[in-house]
Structure 1
Amino acid sequence: MIQGSMVALVTPMAPDNTLDWPSLRDLVDWHLEQGTNAIVAVGTTGESATLDIAEHLSVIKAVVDQVNGRIPVIAGTGANSLAEAMELTEGAKEAGADACLLVTPYYNKPTQEGLYLFHKTIAEQVAIPQLLYNVPGRTAVDMLPETVRRLSELPNIIGIKEATGDMVRARTLIEQSPDDFIVISGDDATAVELMLLGGKGDISVTANVVPRALAELCELAIGGHAEQARALNEQLMPVHRAMFVETNPIPAKWALMQMGRIQSGIRLPMTTLSGHHHESVLAALKDAGLV
């Protein structure tokens, strides 16, 4: 079952921005040891926008092989081109991914009917479980609950990563969706509240640096232990904030570099963390015992 703490894994790169395969394998092993419940490979945090299709599918295959069936692997396969999204989703299926995560087609600014037909086409043509991904702050398009409800009726579409942070929206999605349709947070700061409403987990940026704590947080929240979950989330809030002082995955990759887990590579137009943020991010990592 896909639920719990699902790390939106960074894609490690060498200083020359070639893919760093040993660090990728080490990160996967670390998440397995720390209790992460699922891995999202090559989502937004994995710099999907700057990897070519061959690299994209190679990273998915490497993660699938390293995990070796121990936890689910969710492949980021969204695009603003239907042909590209189809190719990536089919490729992820062939690589052995357990499910795919498809962001709403960005930049095009489609209508709700366009969103429906885009995801419907992929779901009907590629036989792999698919999660919708709504993050209007990055895509300039908002998939409304009514469109989600229509798509939830399709057999291959099993859930949504909802990253608006809007709890009214989250409640609507949970109440209007079929019982077997899962609603997952894509916003670390508010993930606890979504899970306490009945959501099934968090696709998390923060889990890149504190995987064990995020796994515990999700277990508490999904289990309905509101007081304990909120208390732990309050402890993690400085790390949540630190991971978003600049555009994701800039802070997460810099933090993991400080922790000695990856090298410095990040591809343009992303840049390494600005110097004026170093002190605050480092302070959050020190307070959490990470460096």
Structure 2
Amino acid sequence: MSNLKGLGVALVTPFNEDLSVDFDSLTKLVDFNIKNGTNYLVVLGTTAEAATLSSEEKKAVTEHIIKVNNNRLPLVLGIGGNDTMDVKKQIEEADLSPFDAVLSVSPYYNRPNQEGLYQHYKVLAGTGKQIIIYNVPSRTGQNVEASTTVRLAKEFPNLFMIKEAASNINQYFDILRQKPEHFNLVSGDDEFTLPVTLAGGNGVISVIGQGYPKEFSTMVQLAFDGKVKEAYEIHNKLVDITRLIFAEGNPAGIKTILAELGIVKNYVRLPLVVASTGLQDKIKAEMAKI
């Protein structure tokens, strides 16, 4: 599974003005990322506004990305939820042949304790599929603690990676220090990408990366090569824009960048709304500096 290394991007779903899926822009987005150094693509993550896509749309978006990608980059498919048995069923019924792994967010809203989180992923591991644990407490309301992640990693080899997005960077370092050899960690927080990679992480599954794939993938590669000073030059250049794109929720910010680059149109589905004029102005000013 070492090919899921470097810059993975959680692709947005572009929409037309009538909020139907804009497949032409999706083609442009995939090609732009492939040509500019992205290492793998994540389909139907949070950034894709997957929560607001119908099952027919999810299928169409997935098939379109598979077709446009045409085996050029490894693919990861997001399948998660807060009903364990339903998530298990979805994983078992999905055609995963085009995908290297499933990215599965920890159960949200129910707020299970650590034992509940462990049992949830134990059931998913029972599918025999390659699964990436996704911990994002700011969205789920519950943290998968480092001890739980390490316990799962040691017991189930097909839980081979975590996308870690806890707000406390020490948690990333605890996992990296205690994990078994085969288990990988990628940053789920764009701003933590460089320090986490330098500490032994496998890179990032990124939002900002799809707007700046060349810069972001170069930064991660420099980190792998131990070229710390050069890597931090890129990191420092991108910190402000990375913070701006999350200021009013994701993917409102990254869609502003992608629209400015002429890759997608700037539309999101409710309950999200497009970035305010003030934020869009700030993002465009920062883009001009970069």
Provide the TM-score with structure 2 as the length reference.
0.94
SS at match of 1:224: coil
Which whole-Å CA distance do the structure 1 matches of 2:184 and 2:97 have between them?
24
Which residue number in structure 1 is paired with residue 49 of structure 2? 47
1:256 aligns with 2:258: yes
Alignment of 1:101-116 (within 5 A): 101-116=103-118
Amino acid corresponding to residue 163 of structure 1 in structure 2 = A
**Matching residue within 63, 66, 91 for 2:65:** 63
Amino acid corresponding to residue 150 of structure 2 in structure 1 = R
Q: For the Cα contact (< 8 Å) 1:98–1:128, is it kept in 2?
A: no
Which whole-Å CA distance do the structure 2 matches of 1:284 and 1:241 have between them?
11
Please report how far the alpha carbon of residue 253 of structure 1 lies from its aligned counterpart in structure 2 after TM superposition: 1.1
Amino acid corresponding to residue 101 of structure 1 in structure 2 = L
1:144 aligns with 2:145: yes
Please report how far the alpha carbon of residue 95 of structure 1 lies from its aligned counterpart in structure 2 after TM superposition: 5.8
SS at match of 1:175: helix
1:123 aligns with 2:125: yes
Where structure 2 has 5 or more consecutive residues not aligned to the other structure, the ranges are: none
Please report how far the alpha carbon of residue 121 of structure 1 lies from its aligned counterpart in structure 2 after TM superposition: 0.8
Please report how far the alpha carbon of residue 223 of structure 1 lies from its aligned counterpart in structure 2 after TM superposition: 2.2
Please report how far the alpha carbon of residue 87 of structure 1 lies from its aligned counterpart in structure 2 after TM superposition: 4.2
SS at match of 2:12: coil
Which residue number in structure 2 is paired with residue 235 of structure 1? 237
Please report how far the alpha carbon of residue 227 of structure 1 lies from its aligned counterpart in structure 2 after TM superposition: 1.5
What is the root-mean-square deviation in Å for CA atoms of aligned residues? 1.5
Which whole-Å CA distance do the structure 1 matches of 2:37 and 2:185 have between them?
21
Which whole-Å CA distance do the structure 1 matches of 2:85 and 2:272 have between them?
26
Amino acid corresponding to residue 139 of structure 2 in structure 1 = R
Amino acid corresponding to residue 131 of structure 1 in structure 2 = I
Amino acid corresponding to residue 41 of structure 1 in structure 2 = V
Amino acid corresponding to residue 50 of structure 2 in structure 1 = S
Please report how far the alpha carbon of residue 92 of structure 1 lies from its aligned counterpart in structure 2 after TM superposition: 4.4
Which whole-Å CA distance do the structure 1 matches of 2:182 and 2:190 have between them?
23
Change (3 A) 1:252 1:206: same
Deviations 1:66-117 (A, max 9, x none): 2122211111111112244234433544462211111111111011111111
Which whole-Å CA distance do the structure 2 matches of 1:201 and 1:33 have between them?
19
Which whole-Å CA distance do the structure 2 matches of 1:130 and 1:43 have between them?
14
SS at match of 1:45: helix
SS at match of 1:193: helix
Which whole-Å CA distance do the structure 2 matches of 1:95 and 1:45 have between them?
23
Amino acid corresponding to residue 4 of structure 1 in structure 2 = G
Which whole-Å CA distance do the structure 1 matches of 2:17 and 2:32 have between them?
22
Alignment of 1:90-101 (within 5 A): 90-94=92-96, 96-101=98-103
Which residue number in structure 2 is paired with residue 213 of structure 1? 215
Identity of aligned residues (%): 35
Which whole-Å CA distance do the structure 1 matches of 2:23 and 2:89 have between them?
23
Which residue number in structure 2 is paired with residue 74 of structure 1? 76
**Matching residue within 263, 274, 277 for 1:275:** 277
Which residue number in structure 2 is paired with residue 134 of structure 1? 135
Q: Which moved more, 1:161-170 or 1:98-107?
A: 161-170
Where structure 1 has 5 or more consecutive residues not aligned to the other structure, the ranges are: none
Change (3 A) 1:255 1:87: farther
Deviations 1:206-232 (A, max 9, x none): 112101111101101122222111121
Which whole-Å CA distance do the structure 2 matches of 1:238 and 1:68 have between them?
34
SS at match of 2:194: helix
Q: Which moved more, 1:261-270 or 1:31-40?
A: 261-270
SS at match of 2:271: coil
